[in-house]
Structure 1
Amino acid sequence: MAEKLQLIPDAKTTFNKLKTDRDPYTQRAEANAKITIPSLFPKENDNAQTKYEQPYQSVGARGINNLSSKLNLALFPPNERFFRLGISPAELQAMGVDEKQMAEADQALMRIEERVNRFIEDNQIRITVNECLLQLLVAGNCLLFLPPAEGGARMYNLKQYVLRRDPLGNVLQIVTLDKVAKMALPEELQSLVADGKPEDDIEVYTKIQRNGDEWVTFQEINETIVQGSEQSYPIDKAPYIPLRMTKQDGESYGRSFIEEYYGDLLSLENISKAIAFVAMVSSKVLFLVNPNGLTRPKKLQDAKSGDFVTGRADDVQALQLSKYPDLQIALQHSDRLEQRLSFSFLLNSVVQRNAERVTAEEIRTVASELEDTLGGIYSILSQELQLPLIKRIMAVLMSQGEIVQLPDGVVEPTITTGMEALGRGHDFNKYMTFLSAIGQVPEALQMMNISNLVTSIATSLGIETTGLVKTQEELQAEQEQAMGQQMAMQGMAQGMQQAQGEEM
């Protein structure tokens, strides 16, 4: 157990010190938001009255909305558990648990899983997680906060917090900044901000400091620690969950998804702007009249349809830009950029190729390849979002007495979505290909262990086979029962034949 940390009111100082390291990431996030959804990452002085300049293309906005939805559904599928609680075999052996007790333990763990899922839905955590995913795609970083008592969740964008990690990526410090109206503060805290109007915003800093195997937190106003705000949490059950899209060695913050495709997005934005400008200019209709000709513009302007006007056709010509060949080059390049970005953002429009006949297998193959590109994202989010979220929610439920107290290190959650689901999906495709191949070989199915095959296919689809697929013992018992019934029927038939013979 680490020694008690001496708290000093340095949250604001730490925030300002670490802010310098964070500034390059916020600048890139502002540039990324400008060509996708500008309101996702506003500038420092923006407010509800700010009118943002809208991009000239919608590929960026459609792309991040599509990706965030896919990630949300993959990581937190509705009406389905995205994790499973289990006890290690070594612990089971040490506790001497038999098969019946193990079945009862599985049922108890399943009820806890359902309660965690219900907590996520009841507190609208899925909505906040979707906000986090949008921030990760555009800014690469955000902070998820689950209040200890109030329930629900809150997202801090990159401008509202700073942090510091060690070379291995472990978080050492976090400082958040909240701006609260003075009138909203409790009366005992308003003495800390005697100056100012009631509607003025007060800066409240919260510092989260790592101290051995626990987190120590406190709040600070005007460089004074708020009495009663001191808290401590286990290292793996803190209400603050810092998230990042990618891991960069030696950097405290991650990089965004948009940053990897910024060049294509910026090029498409500039070309779309140029095409829109040329289209607007081309749509303006102007006629040039020869000043030395016989035709008078006034007579043309006043003439009605079908009237006869004195003049020569050569004296009047429509003004044309004659930029059609140049515009075609821009349009072709724009189409190529849009197609590349659509693949990167997994937009459905690129899954099906442009052809008369497209097989379902082609669509499945392309879709699978596109989903595989999210493998790295799934990996880091499962470790830095899903697992900490589960552990924090379980800690809250245990503190409220809604689930039983579980000993540390005995029951551990295992993620069953994201990267794990991708691996099972590949296994299912292999099983289907295998069955299709051996179906063409005579008597090949007789060589198969059908029970194991059915169980393996169910596992590849993430289906629990307990109570669904018969075990070998159940099949053997049914066979013995059928044989017994058959022998009984034969015995009855023989008895009836003997009785009939004696009567004769």
Structure 2
Amino acid sequence: MLNKKGFIMHDNQSTCAQKYHKLTADREVYLDRARECSELTLPALIPPEGFSSVTDLYQPFQSTGARGVNNLASKLLLLLFPPNAPFFRLAMDTATKAELDQSGDLRAQIEDGLAGIEREISGEIETSAMRVHVFEALKHLIISGNVLVHLPKKGGIRVFPLSSYVCKRDPNGELLEAIVEEKISPQVLPENMEGIDYEKDELIKIYTKIYRTDIDNYEIYQEVEGQVVPESRGTYKKELLPWRALRMVHLDGEDYGRSYVEEYIGDLKSLEGLMESLVSAAAASSKLVFLVRPNASVKRRDLTSAKNGAVIGGMPEDVKVLQTEKSHDMRVVLETVKRIEDRLAFAFLLNTSIQRQAERVTAEEIRFMAQELESALGGVYSILSQEMQLPIVHILMDKMSSANKIPKLPKGTVNPVIVTGVEALGRGNDLNKLRTFIQDIVQLAQANPETLQRVNFGDLIARLATGHGIDTVGLIKTEEDIQQEQQQAQMMQEQQQAQMQQAQMQQATLPGVAKEMVKGVNKRAENDPDAAAAMQEQMAAMAQQQQPTQ
């Protein structure tokens, strides 16, 4: 029930279990479709209704679906959450930047501090084994199009399949209400829970209800057999909500999403049917049966009992091997299977799809086709960056700041910005354009060498590093560093020249032995200025001793 502002009103008349079973009717169509997609890819991920550990699952006749789902989930995981590198950066708002620009080095110090916070959060992701659960969630999104993830304050991510929750959304796709059903041991319930009838070894159902109370807040509580679990109530801001109902493909007006596999279910069904027929035909062709003429001189008993290499009497025309004679039809099936597999390989970004069958295929051609395939997933990156990556960053920042692992940042001044997914694709496209432009510049320079004088190589290096996503701090020298090195080199050169001039003046006044020493000093100055300076001081002292006293 909605209130006047369009938000969920808490229903005191019905329990969470009753509301859950009421909403399962709307979910049933999506769940049946998800089970059909899972049957052709990974049957154990979303098993049929009533499945148990002793139930046999359907075994597909093809593995293209399973390889495609695992490959696509792995690519999404590496692109969205690259190992040992932050998938986001903490950016200051425009007003804060303008204020810090007037403070000299303060902005650089703050940016270094923000970079340290980014590394701390990335380290938390690495140590919490979050990628294992994210990989499972991505497979659910690819196959069923829906998954619910829970990011508790303690522990890693929990993943709930579509069969374990129901939800309602507003016209904008924002979550209005969700109810999660799971089975737990009664021993984990609080001791003050009364009136619950259960066996000691029996699992009981617990329901978690998440509903929106206003535009920016959600309320959560848990219920067992109509009783609210003590200390289970909590209120969360929208960006810090630990329960996230994710979707792969959004459709307006629908509470649940559509899956990536569903878009290619036709090819998967066709491939499954053809492969089943092909396997059956191959099994029939492999059966070895001999036909013996009824009035043949060779006896069937002799033929059956004859060992390999044995000699028996008879005519060749009396014995014939039974053949299916369906080789032409089988060739048509194989060609059709090959075309379907190629289409699915393109859809799931399998490596076999980026190299055409030819004698010579250049590395540039393979690189271009791989980028084109990954660019086709730009829409998927956009959805997951907003519904998965950003909430993970917000929740981890809040959890780590509460544990004093990172400092608390002023609200509204620093916001996380995702730098993987669509952002990475954009940088990759810019990098390719920049490489093409550099090739054009090189060709022009061959005709006119003065062309290179127009290129700002410092800015070019910075843009290349940005395209690769590399932090150049401490790696590339700044203009100030180059000027400082040039000044130091000039000062060293002037010092050497002054030392040589002083040595020449002393050479004109010293006796012959000292002149030879001066020559040695000049030669030593070319290799070791410090040692030459020490020798000059000794010679100057000798010269003063040889001057006549007045």
Identify the TM-score tier after normalising by the shorter chain: over 0.9
1:192 to 1:424, Cα distance in 2 relative to 1, 3 A:
farther
Q: CA deviation at 1:238?
A: 1.1
Counterpart position of 1:145: 150
Gaps of 5+ in 1: none
Q: CA deviation at 1:497?
A: 6.0
Q: CA deviation at 1:22?
A: 1.3
Structure 1 stretch displaced more, 279-288 or 402-411: 402-411
Q: CA deviation at 1:304?
A: 4.1
Confirm or deny that 1:32 pairs with 2:34: no
Structure 1 stretch displaced more, 328-337 or 393-402: 393-402
CA deviation vs aligned residue, 1:248-271 (integer Å, no higher than 9, x gap): 111121111100111111111110
1:342 to 1:17, Cα distance in 2 relative to 1, 3 A:
same
Counterpart position of 1:322: 325
Between the aligned residues of both structures, percent identity stands at 42
Whether the 8 Å contact between 1:183 and 1:199 is mirrored in structure 2 is no
Return the match for 1:158 from 162, 168, 183.
162
Confirm or deny that 1:263 pairs with 2:266: yes
User: What's the Cα RMSD here?
Assistant: 2.3
Q: CA deviation at 1:466?
A: 2.1
Confirm or deny that 1:473 pairs with 2:480: yes
Between the aligned partners of 1:235 and 1:143, the Cα distance in structure 2 is 16
Whether the 8 Å contact between 2:240 and 2:394 is mirrored in structure 1 is yes
Confirm or deny that 1:202 pairs with 2:181: no
The SS at the match of 1:163 is: strand
The aligned length equals: 500
Whether the 8 Å contact between 1:63 and 1:342 is mirrored in structure 2 is yes
Between the aligned partners of 2:119 and 2:310, the Cα distance in structure 1 is 81
The SS at the match of 2:218 is: strand
Counterpart position of 1:211: 213
The SS at the match of 1:378 is: helix
So what's the TM-score if we normalise by structure 1?
A: 0.93
1:501 to 1:95, Cα distance in 2 relative to 1, 3 A:
closer
Between the aligned partners of 1:431 and 1:343, the Cα distance in structure 2 is 27
Matched to 1:390, the amino acid is V
Counterpart position of 2:103: 98
Return the match for 2:424 from 421, 424, 442.
421
Return the match for 2:186 from 168, 172, 182.
182
Counterpart position of 2:294: 291
Higher relative contact order (CA 8 A, sep 6+): 1
Q: CA deviation at 1:220?
A: 1.1
How do residues 443-454 of structure 1 correspond to structure 2 at under 5 angstroms? 443=449, 444-454=451-461
Structure 1 stretch displaced more, 464-473 or 18-27: 464-473
Structure 1 stretch displaced more, 196-205 or 26-35: 196-205
Q: CA deviation at 1:416?
A: 1.2
Whether the 8 Å contact between 2:205 and 2:224 is mirrored in structure 1 is yes
1:305 to 1:412, Cα distance in 2 relative to 1, 3 A:
closer
How do residues 358-373 of structure 1 correspond to structure 2 at under 5 angstroms? 358-373=361-376
So what's the TM-score if we normalise by structure 2?
A: 0.86
Counterpart position of 2:18: 13
Q: CA deviation at 1:4?
A: 12
Whether the 8 Å contact between 2:274 and 2:337 is mirrored in structure 1 is yes
Matched to 1:208, the amino acid is I
Matched to 1:281, the amino acid is A
1:470 to 1:104, Cα distance in 2 relative to 1, 3 A:
same
Q: CA deviation at 1:500?
A: 6.3
Q: CA deviation at 1:364?
A: 0.8
Q: CA deviation at 1:387?
A: 0.3
Gaps of 5+ in 2: 512-550
Return the match for 2:48 from 32, 40, 43.
43
Between the aligned partners of 2:124 and 2:311, the Cα distance in structure 1 is 81
How do residues 380-391 of structure 1 correspond to structure 2 at under 5 angstroms? 380-391=383-394
1:75 to 1:471, Cα distance in 2 relative to 1, 3 A:
same
Structure 1 stretch displaced more, 246-255 or 22-31: 246-255
Structure 1 stretch displaced more, 483-492 or 85-94: 483-492
Whether the 8 Å contact between 2:349 and 2:373 is mirrored in structure 1 is yes
Q: CA deviation at 1:227?
A: 2.4
1:7 to 1:403, Cα distance in 2 relative to 1, 3 A:
farther
Counterpart position of 1:252: 255
Return the match for 1:73 from 67, 78, 81.
78
Matched to 2:337, the amino acid is S
